[in-house]
Every structure is written in C-alpha cells, then in structure tokens.
Amino acid sequence: MLSVGNAVHLLIPSPSKRRVLHPGKVIESNATSFVAEFEETINPAVDSDVNAYCEVRGKFFQQGAVVSEIRTSDPCVIAFRRGGEPVSAESRQTYRVSLVTAEFVVDVDKEPGCQVLDISPEGFAAITKRKLNLGSVVKIRIAGEGHTFEASARVQTVQERGAGKFRYGFLVPESHVVARKKMQQISMEMQRLHLKRLRGAA
C-alpha cells in the first residue's frame, strides 16, 4: 500500500465533522515513510496525525501517518512517517461485541468515565461530551469487569448524538500489543457471555 505511483487521499484532522479528502500521488515510499504530491496546496502542521487512504486491488485501505516535513508548497509535496499497519477502510476488521449491558468505562484524554458501547480486538466505540478531531490520536484508559489497560487510540469515526454527546469509533494501533491482547480477551469473554445468555433464554 502507498507505493510509488499510487493515488492517495489525505484526511487532515479538523474540528469539523466533514471528512474532506485531499487527492494526491505517492512519489516516494519505503517501509517507514512516504512522500506525496497533492493537487492543491494544503498545510497540515508538522508532527500532526493524519489518515492516508489508498485503493489497492479494488479495496480501500487507510494508513495512519504523522506529518514529518512540508517540502514544497507549489507543487505541494509533503513527507510522512507511517503510523502502524494499514487497515481496511471499507468495513470493520472483526465483529464488535456490544458492551452496553456491561460495566466498562473509558477515560478519553481529560474526560473520565465515558461509556464504552462496543469493542473488538482492534478498537472500540464510546460516548463522550467533548469534540474530538477525526484522525487525531488520544490517550485512553479502559476499565471494567476486572480489566484495565491504557493505550493511544486514533479517532476513526464520529456521530453526533444530540444533548451535547458524540459517539466516536477508535482504532488502537498494532504497536500497542498489550492493549490489543486485552481487547481481544474482553471481546471473547463478552461473546461467550452473550451466547450463554442466549442459551439461557432459549
């Protein structure tokens, strides 16, 4: 993914809920970084987190990245550091398990005790009262049912719920191995619990 010559679309985090994708083309690429030239002049902050999208063999993928250098503005050429492995941007990688009836909460940056709605081995969804930027990376701490872990997570999706609340989907990077193992463990435990309840109700 994101090889030289590939088309790329860049999502720059912003307070707006609109997902504006800026088109460009990859002109340099290696295992840890890539450089892209964009059709319009854009100015993401150096060291800011962004999402890069690319189509590979008919499937849409996203790559978390960090802006490392604005090389030129005309044409607009920007260098990036890759952040973890590419993931599918078409659908969830694995089945998310509902945690609505469980006692799980997450601290998102400075907002404590947010409700966790669902979880998978790759990420989770939660309700917050704070606006978060799409593509930004936040510190999280999840606790419940005897489990506790901390990690960084990237804001993948947002839905406004009204009454000053927002539903966010978060992706935990593959580099957070312990956190991902915890999420897989929680996901499996909750699936078994749901199945047990279903059998009891049958």
pTM for the complete prediction?
0.66
**Cα separation of 46 and 49, whole Å?**
9
- pLDDT average per 10 residues of sequence, the chain (202 residues): 88 70 92 94 92 80 92 95 79 70 92 94 93 91 95 91 91 91 91 71 48
Cβ atoms of 24 and 36 within 8 Å: the answer is yes
Instruction: State the pLDDT at residue 168.
Output: 94
Instruction: State the pLDDT at residue 30.
Output: 94
Residue 165 burial (CB < 10 Å; 0-12/13-18/19+)?
middle
Instruction: State the pLDDT at residue 202.
Output: 45
Q: Any idea which fold 97-201 has? A: Thrombin, subunit H (2.40.10)
Instruction: State the pLDDT at residue 90.
Output: 60
The two counts, helices (H) then strands (E), for the chain are: 1, 14
Q: Which residues contact 95 (CB under 8 A, 6 or more apart)?
A: 120, 191
- Tokens 């419940």 belong to residue: 144
Domain boundaries, the chain: 7-88, 97-201
Instruction: State the pLDDT at residue 186.
Output: 93
Instruction: State the pLDDT at residue 15.
Output: 67
Instruction: State the pLDDT at residue 26.
Output: 95
